[in-house]
Amino acid sequence: MNRSDGQNCIATSLVLHLLPFYTFVLCRPIRIMRSRWLRFYNSLPPVTKAYGTLCLLTTTAYHLGLLNLSYIALYYPLVFAKVQVWRLITNFFFLGSFSFNFGIHLLMIARYGVQLEKGPFDKRTADFLWMMLFGASSLLVLSAVPWLSFPFLGISLVFMLLYVWSREFPHAQINIYGLVTLKAFYLPWTMLALDVLFGSSPLPDLMGIIAGHLYYFLTVLHPLAGGKNILKTPLWLYPFSAAPCFEQI
Same domain? 1 vs 66: no
Instruction: Write the CATH number for 205.
Output: 1.20.1540.10
Same domain? 117 vs 207: yes
Same domain? 11 vs 70: no
CA-based end-to-end distance of the chain: 63
Tell me whether strands 180-183 and 173-176 are parallel, antiparallel or unpaired.
antiparallel
Exposure string of 40-70, with b = 16+ CB inside 10 Å and e = fewer, is: eeeebbbbbbebbebbbebbebbeeeebebe
Same domain? 108 vs 162: yes
Same domain? 25 vs 77: no
Catalogue the E-assigned strands of the chain: 173-176, 180-183
Q: Which domain holds residue 1?
A: 1-40
Q: Which helix (H) or strand (E) holds 127?
A: helix 125-142
Same domain? 152 vs 242: yes
pLDDT digit string (tens) for the chain, length 249 residues: 455 554 455 545 554 555 565 555 555 666 666 778 788 888 899 999 999 999 999 999 999 999 999 999 999 999 999 999 999 999 999 999 999 999 999 999 999 999 999 999 999 999 999 999 999 999 999 999 999 999 999 999 999 999 999 999 999 999 887 778 899 999 999 999 999 998 889 999 999 999 999 999 999 999 999 888 889 999 988 887 666 655 566
Tell me which residue of 162, 185, 158 sits closest to 172, measured CA to CA. Answer: 185
Amino acid at the residue 42: N
Same domain? 24 vs 118: no
Quick check: 113 and 49 in contact, CB under 8 A? no
CB atoms within 10 A of CB 136: 19
Q: Is 176 helix (H, G, I), strand (E, B) or coil?
A: strand
Same domain? 36 vs 53: no
Question: Domain total for the chain?
Answer: 2
Q: What pTM value is reported for the model?
A: 0.84
Same domain? 127 vs 57: yes
Same domain? 138 vs 237: yes
Sign of the C-alpha dihedral computed for residues 90, 59, 161 and 128 taken in this order:
positive
Tell me which residue of 88, 138, 169, 210 sits closest to 202, measured CA to CA. Answer: 210
Cα angle, residue 72 at apex, residues 67 and 73 outer, rounded to 5° = 120
CA distance 246 to 240: 8
Same domain? 157 vs 177: yes
CB atoms within 10 A of CB 202: 12
CA distance 127 to 27: 43
Same domain? 78 vs 28: no
